[in-house]
């Protein structure tokens, strides 16, 4: 009874405005982190066959609102895709919820996380299609899950090599992954990164030096170099994207790219069916004026999200972004759950 009262109290408190600092979206779910390190979750696809097909259970049903996750940890980073979510807490420890085809890496329920015991402290995480990639404080890269011998409770597998990494990203719907080393060099890996067939990352030939990387669906990745320029890594090819500079954050979707500059301005560019910039005006980055400074962005398969400087959440659907080009701002609106009551 007390638990029910507490849940109701938290939900009611959310209606009077929540202060969020982080947002992340997968193919069918979205997560928020509030200023206290609390985790909130939402499953986004009411008509999707994904839960039944993957055996994700009743807990993965559509949720119109975000729900507070009962996690005894302060969240500092998170990564999610269609089947898994990885959370990093302020103690350098990781928690996983999700399902994969080759072994269990946590719980099948969206809101039920399993703490993974490790002997090293973690600094970076990436949730992939049925597996997780993690980087420890020494820059060593590991893989967990996606195996046929058990689950993530088994010792995670070190990806061999002397290279030390700072950032890592894994595709939300494929097995590709990329990483950035301490010198800003770019590395990529194809195929399953797993306990039974760990493959070494191969360095991508480029003179550019990178500082951040973001994963999308399929083989789409966005990167920010050390000058603040935005790049695209698609099907193994690297290309610089013009029209926007001083990029601080980015989000990737099959039909468009979102970029956030250091002044808190949101930008959007349309792509064609092959993931390349569209010709003409639709292929250029367009500024989106929401009338407020934006601090973080994320994009899933069906929705995109933005957090403003007051900690409020904005959302849109990918369909609206496409239909309302180039008037993208009309596709965004404040998420109704967190609008204070008059």
pLDDT in tens, 282-329: 557 889 999 999 999 998 777 889 999 988 999 887 667 766 667 788
pLDDT recorded at residue 34: 94
Going by C-alpha positions, the residue among 184, 197, 268, 263 that lies closest to residue 226 is: 184
pLDDT value at residue 296? 96
pLDDT for the residue numbered 45: 53
Q: What is the CATH number of the domain that holds 169?
A: 2.130.10.30
**Could you give the number of structural domains in the chain?**
1
Residue 265 belongs to a domain: no
Q: Is residue 3 part of a domain?
A: no
Residues 6+ apart with CB under 8 A from 161: 141, 200, 201
pLDDT of residue 54: 40
d(CA 285, CA 259): 9
Q: Are 101 and 93 in contact (CB under 8 A)?
A: no
b/e per residue, 148-174, with b = 16+ CB within 10 A? eeebbbeebbebeeebebbbbbbbbbb
Q: What is the pLDDT of residue 6?
A: 38
329 in a domain, yes or no? no
* Domain-embedded: residue 291: no
With residue 52 as reference, give the H or E element that holds it: helix 50-54
User: What pLDDT sits at residue 340?
Assistant: 62
Q: Which residues contact 234 (CB under 8 A, 6 or more apart)?
A: 219, 220, 221, 275, 276
Beta-bridge mates of residue 126: 133
Beta strand 202-203 with 186-189 is antiparallel
CA distance 31 to 69: 10
Residue at 218 is within a domain:
yes
Whether 8 maps to a domain, the answer reads no
The DSSP secondary structure of 290-326, one letter per residue, reads -SS-EEEEEE-SSEEEEEETTS-EEEEEHHHHHHTTT
Tokens representing 158 are 């070190």
Phi, psi of 202 (to 5 degrees): -110, 140
Instruction: Note down the domain range covering 35.
Output: 14-244
The pLDDT, as a whole number, for residue 55 is 40
Give the pLDDT confidence score for residue 1 in this predicted structure: 41
Query: pTM of the entire structure?
Result: 0.84
**Number of other CB atoms surrounding residue 92 within 10 Å:** 14
In a domain, 309, yes or no: no
Torsion of CA 308, 134, 196, 52, to 10 degrees: -20
Domain for residue 27, yes or no? yes
The residue whose two tokens read 């010792």 is: 155
CA dist 258 and 286 (Å) reads: 10
pLDDT in tens for each of the 342 residues of the chain?
433 333 433 443 443 456 899 999 887 778 999 999 999 988 765 444 444 444 444 444 556 788 888 888 999 999 987 777 889 999 999 988 765 433 344 444 556 788 888 888 999 999 887 678 899 999 999 887 654 444 444 446 777 778 999 999 988 777 788 999 999 999 998 665 554 444 578 899 999 999 999 988 777 899 999 999 999 898 888 989 888 999 999 998 767 889 999 999 999 987 766 656 555 555 578 899 999 999 999 987 778 899 999 889 998 876 677 666 677 888 899 988 887 655
């Amino acid at each position: 009874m007390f638990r029910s009262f507490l849940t109701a109290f938290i939900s009611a408190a959310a209606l009077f405005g929540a202060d969020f600092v982080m947002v992340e979206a997968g193919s069918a779910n979205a997560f928020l982190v509030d200023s206290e390190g609390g985790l909130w979750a939402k499953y986004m696809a009411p008509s999707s066959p994904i839960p039944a097909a993957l055996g994700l259970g009743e807990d993965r049903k559509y949720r119109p609102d975000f729900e507070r996750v009962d996690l005894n940890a302060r969240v500092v980073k998170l990564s999610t895709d269609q089947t898994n979510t990885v959370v990093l807490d302020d103690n350098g420890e990781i928690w996983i919820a999700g399902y994969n085809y080759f072994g269990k890496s946590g719980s099948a329920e969206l809101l039920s996380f399993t703490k993974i015991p490790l002997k090293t402290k973690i600094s970076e995480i990436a949730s992939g299609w049925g597996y997780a990639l993690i980087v420890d404080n020494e820059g060593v890269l590991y893989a967990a899950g996606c195996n046929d011998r058990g689950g993530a409770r088994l010792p995670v597998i070190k990806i061999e090599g002397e290279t030390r990494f700072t950032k890592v990203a894994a595709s939300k719907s494929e097995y590709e992954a990329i990483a950035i080393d301490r010198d800003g060099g770019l590395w990529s890996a194809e195929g399953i990164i797993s306990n039974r067939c760990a493959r070494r990352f191969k360095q991508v030939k480029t003179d550019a030096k990178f500082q951040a990387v973001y994963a999308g669906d399929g083989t789409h990745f966005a990167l920010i170099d050390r000058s603040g320029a935005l790049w695209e890594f698609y099907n193994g090819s690297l290309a610089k994207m013009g029209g926007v500079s001083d990029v601080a954050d980015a989000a990737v979707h099959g039909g468009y790219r979102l970029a956030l500059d250091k002044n808190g301005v949101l930008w959007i560019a349309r792509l064609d069916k092959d993931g390349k910039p569209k010709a003409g005006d639709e292929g250029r980055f367009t500024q989106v004026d929401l009338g407020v400074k934006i601090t973080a962005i994320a994009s899933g398969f069906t929705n995109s999200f933005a957090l403003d400087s007051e900690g409020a959440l904005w959302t849109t659907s990918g369909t609206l972004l496409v239909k309302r080009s180039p008037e993208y701002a009309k596709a965004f609106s404040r998420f109704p759950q967190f609008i204070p009551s008059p």
